[in-house]
């Protein structure tokens, strides 16, 4: 069976892989500049970057490399990781009471064969007070996350509802990944003959 390489330093992606039964994998962090052509749509942007990350990671022919790139978009504008607390407050203030899109591009590669796909999820924030947002930021959670929040932590208290894949918002759409891995003969839920 092929060996899995997760090309990501994200602890959330590592946790999600373990949750779905991939307990043995190697981590290799790609070092690429997140450049993309100006004319791409949000799903095309994250797919493009995940593919760039994939080919930046060396691998053997018996290894399946998984890369992902997650971005938050509000009215087609990208919200990256906050520079500082003031920037986090600016982003969270813009998101509160509104809907935004979380897009994750996933690339699965073995040798020169690569599949790249994207998943989009709509996230609706409840109206929040400035004091609530500042208290959330003071805890430090938003500082390393796109859009300045983590849905798997206290950021969940800001989210009113989600339309789509919850795990996509965490950074790895697991059902999409399962389907992509199956195309390489790696089955997370193998069939059992009755």
CATH code of the domain covering residue 57:
3.90.950.10
Q: Is residue 194 part of a domain?
A: no
Q: Looking at the DSSP assignment, which residues form a beta bridge with residue 70? A: 104
d(CA 110, CA 108): 7
Structure tokens at 160: 């009113």
User: Would residue 62 show up in a list of annotated catalytic residues for this protein?
Assistant: no
Q: Is residue 189 part of a domain?
A: no
Domain hosting residue 155, numbered range: 3-182
Active-site choice (61, 69, 112, 144): 69
Q: Is residue 101 part of a domain?
A: yes
Q: Is residue 59 part of a domain?
A: yes
d(CA 37, CA 52): 12
Whether the predicted pLDDT of 194 surpasses 70: no
The strand pair at 63-74 and 77-79 is best described as antiparallel
Whether the predicted pLDDT of 24 surpasses 70: yes
Q: Is residue 61 part of a domain?
A: yes
The number of C-alpha atoms within 13 Å of 163 and in the hemisphere containing its C-beta is 6
Burial class (CB in 10 A: 0-12, 13-18, 19+), 55: middle
pLDDT (tens digit per residue) in 154-176 = 999 999 999 999 999 999 999 99
Q: Is residue 23 part of a domain?
A: yes
Instruction: Name the H helices within 11-102.
Output: 11-19, 42-55, 85-95
Q: Is residue 187 part of a domain?
A: no
**Per the structure, how many domains does the chain have?**
1
Q: Please state, rounded to an integer, the average pLDDT across all residues of the chain.
A: 94
pLDDT (tens digit per residue) in 52-97 = 999 999 999 999 999 999 999 999 899 989 999 999 999 999 999 9
Which residues in 125-158 are b (16+ Cβ under 10 Å) and which e?
beebeeeebeebbeeebbbebbbbbbbbeebeeb
pLDDT (tens digit per residue) in 4-22 = 999 999 999 999 999 999 9
pLDDT (tens digit per residue) in 118-140 = 999 999 999 999 999 999 999 99
This prediction's pTM: 0.91
Q: Is residue 158 part of a domain?
A: yes
Q: Look up residue 126 and give its DSSP letter.
A: P
Whether the predicted pLDDT of 102 surpasses 60: yes
């Amino acid at each position: 069976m092929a060996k899995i390489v997760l090309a990501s330093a994200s602890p959330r992606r590592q946790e999600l892989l373990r949750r779905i039964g991939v307990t043995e994998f190697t981590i290799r962090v790609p070092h690429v500049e997140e450049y993309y052509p100006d004319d791409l749509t949000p799903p095309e942007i994250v797919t493009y970057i995940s593919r760039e990350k994939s080919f930046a990671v060396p691998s053997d022919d018996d290894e399946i490399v998984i890369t992902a790139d997650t971005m938050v978009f509000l009215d087609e504008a990208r919200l990256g990781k906050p520079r500082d607390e003031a920037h986090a407050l600016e982003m969270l203030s813009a998101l509160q009471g509104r809907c935004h899109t979380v897009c994750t591009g996933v690339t699965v590669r073995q040798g020169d064969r690569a599949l790249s796909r994207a998943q989009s999820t709509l996230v609706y924030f409840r109206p929040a007070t400035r004091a609530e947002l500042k208290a959330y930021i003071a805890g430090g959670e938003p500082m390393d996350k796109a859009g300045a929040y983590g849905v798997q932590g206290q950021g969940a208290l800001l989210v009113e509802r989600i339309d789509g894949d919850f795990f996509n918002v965490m950074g790895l759409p697991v059902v999409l990944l399962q389907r992509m891995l199956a195309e390489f003969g790696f089955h997370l839920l193998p069939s059992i003959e009755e």
